Amino acid sequence: MNVSIRRLIVAAGLCLSLAAPLAVAPSGLAADETVSEADRKAGQKAYKRFCSHCHGLDLKNPGTASFDLRKWPSGQHDQFVDTVSNGKGDMPAWGDILRPEEIEVIYAYIISHPDRKK
């Protein structure tokens, strides 16, 4: 095989292996769950519209039967996306209503909320 072609293949493989970790990280969210202001704001808006009537305005849970989202534990991103997409008990499923990016920004809003009790 021609040496320059072999170099090209090695370089392409390297690029793929470097790009892979980025592809699996949730959009706009770093591994340490640092949240950008843009995501937080977009999430706040979507939360207000789709979640607040059961979970409380500004995450202040009205003390009804719904889960207090201020107590959502850190590092449980996948569990969050799963419950929100598929529903749980009396919690409706949002997978057909919200786009994955919308669920991501709602998650960002919740985990960066100042009233959060981790």
Whichever of 36 and 67 has its CB closer to ligand HEC, that residue is 67
CA 64, chain centre distance (Å) = 25
Whichever of 13 and 73 has its CB closer to ligand HEC, that residue is 73
Distance between CA 53 and CA 73 in Å, rounded? 22
Residue tagged 């305005």 (tokens): 57
Alpha carbon separation from 108 to 10, 16, 20, 57 (Å, rounded): 37, 28, 22, 16
Smallest gap, in angstroms, from Cβ of residue 102 to ligand HEC?
8
Q: Which residue in the shown chain puts its C-beta closest to ligand HEC? A: 89
Binding site for ligand HEC (CB under 6 A): 50-51, 53-55, 65-67, 72, 79-80, 83-84, 88-92, 94, 106
Whichever of 6 and 99 has its CB closer to ligand HEC, that residue is 99
Number of other CB atoms surrounding residue 52 within 10 Å: 16
Smallest gap, in angstroms, from Cβ of residue 71 to ligand HEC?
9
